[in-house]
Structure 1
Amino acid sequence: MNSNQAALARKQIDRRLAPLRAAKPALPPRGWLRAIREALGMTTRQLAARMKVAPSRISAIEKAEVSGATTIKTLREAAAALDCTFVYAFVPNKPLEEILRERAARKAALDVARLDHTMRLENQALLKSDLDDERRRMVDLLSSGSLRGLWEDD
């Protein structure tokens, strides 16, 4: 995917996920499965029959959901048995473009600091305005080219 396509993809993903980021849905203390099941007045035995599993399995699934030890497949099956749609998403805490620019700014700051240090050792220190210009140039370069190197740890 070229950089223009990646930028467009970021915009589309951000647009689609913005309502979820704004809503910040909170997990019920005892999990979604149990909350929906109880709100529907359904017992573990009744849900187990709908899922074609033993009643003890429902309790295990509910506990596993709360602890994060369940599988997506199991949650999909439970949702279907409750006549619900299982939704799975990664919701960035801020727009993807902002995440990229911040990462690029951190990398650029490190690179410019190394450059400044080397130049000072050679008694060729750069002006703060020159360093700031170089930092901005590097941020633009890092966030517009191939993004793979952006995530390498130095």
Structure 2
Amino acid sequence: MSPDQTLLARKNLDRRLSKLNREAVIVPPFGWVRAIREALGLSPQKLAERMGVTRPRVNTLEKAEVTGSTTIKSLREAAEAMNCTFVYAIVPTTTLDDILREQAAKKADTELARYHHTMRLENQAMDKRDLATERERLVSEMLMGSLRRVWDDE
């Protein structure tokens, strides 16, 4: 994917996910499957029949959802059996651009610390303004090129 395509994809994802990010989703204490099942008046036995599984399997699924040890496939099957849509998303805590900029800044700080140390040893230390300017230049350079560089360890 070209850098321009990556930027467009990132902006599109940010726009689509921003709606989810603003709203705090509070998971019901006994999980979504049980909450929806009970709201619909479905017994565990009836849900099991609709899913084509045994009743103990529904109990296991509901417990596994609460502990985080269920599968996406199982949740999707339960949702479909209740005439619901299963939704799965990874929602950034801030914008994707902000995450990238923060990571690039961390990497730039690491690189600058190394350079600055060497320059100080040679009595050529940069002042704070020069360091800030160079940091911003490095961040911009990283964000313009392959984004993999932002995440690579050196």
Q: Same fold (TM over 0.5)?
A: yes
Question: Equivalents in 2 of 1:55, 1:12: separation in Å?
Answer: 42
Q: CA deviation at 1:53?
A: 0.7
Question: Equivalents in 2 of 1:119, 1:36: separation in Å?
Answer: 63
Identity %: 56
- The alignment partner of 1:79 has SS state of helix
**Which residue of the partner structure matches residue 152 of structure 1?**
152
CA offsets per residue over residues 30-53 of structure 1, 9 Å max, x none? 000000000111100010110111
**Which residue of the partner structure matches residue 6 of structure 1?**
6
CA RMSD of aligned residues (A): 0.8
CA offsets per residue over residues 40-74 of structure 1, 9 Å max, x none? 11100010110111111100000011111111111
The answer to whether residue 47 in structure 2 is matched with residue 47 in structure 1 is yes
Structure 1, unaligned runs of 5 or more: none
List structure 1 segments (4+ residues) > 4 angstroms apart after TM superposition.
none
**Which residue of the partner structure matches residue 131 of structure 1?**
131
CA offsets per residue over residues 61-120 of structure 1, 9 Å max, x none? 000111111111111100000000000111011000000001011111111111110000
Amino acid at match of 2:63: K
Q: CA deviation at 1:2?
A: 1.2
Number of equivalenced pairs: 154
**Which residue of the partner structure matches residue 116 of structure 2?**
116
**Which residue of the partner structure matches residue 57 of structure 2?**
57
What TM-score do you get using the length of structure 1 for normalisation? 0.97
The answer to whether residue 16 in structure 2 is matched with residue 16 in structure 1 is yes
**Which residue of the partner structure matches residue 69 of structure 2?**
69
Question: Equivalents in 1 of 2:94, 2:153: separation in Å?
Answer: 22
Question: Equivalents in 2 of 1:24, 1:3: separation in Å?
Answer: 32
Amino acid at match of 1:72: I
